[in-house]
């Protein structure tokens, strides 16, 4: 099973707040990283952390995008499969 990455694993609240254009206290309150910020973090970290690692509870689909750091492309949540799980 893939472990969920935490804010501290990927640079701390200040770094994540900078990436997501938020204030650090907002990030301190997160129990999990909101899914809408996962692609921003993946891209900012140049693919060294993936959406699948950030939120393994969500089924992610990849759309081909040569500009995206992940070789399989840009991540998008697959809500139909996530609900079924």
Looking at residue 81, what is its pLDDT?
78
Looking at residue 2, what is its pLDDT?
46
Chain CA centroid to CA 85, Å: 19
User: What count of other Cβ atoms lies within 10 Å of the Cβ of residue 42?
Assistant: 25
Domains of the chain: 8-84 (1.10.260.40)
Per-residue pLDDT band for 8 (boundaries 50, 70, 90) equals confident
Nearest to 54 by CA among 16, 18, 3, 8: 3
Residues 22-39 pLDDT 10s: 999 999 888 889 999 999
Looking at residue 84, what is its pLDDT?
56
Looking at residue 7, what is its pLDDT?
86
């Amino acid at each position: 099973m893939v472990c969920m990455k935490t804010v501290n694993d990927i640079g701390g609240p200040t770094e994540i707040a900078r990436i997501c254009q938020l204030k650090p206290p907002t990030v301190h309150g997160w129990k999990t990283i909101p899914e809408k910020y996962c692609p921003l973090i993946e891209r900012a970290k140049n693919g060294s952390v993936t959406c699948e690692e950030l939120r393994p509870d969500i089924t992610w689909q990849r759309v081909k995008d040569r500009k995206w750091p992940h070789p399989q492309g840009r991540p998008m949540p697959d809500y139909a499969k996530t609900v079924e799980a």
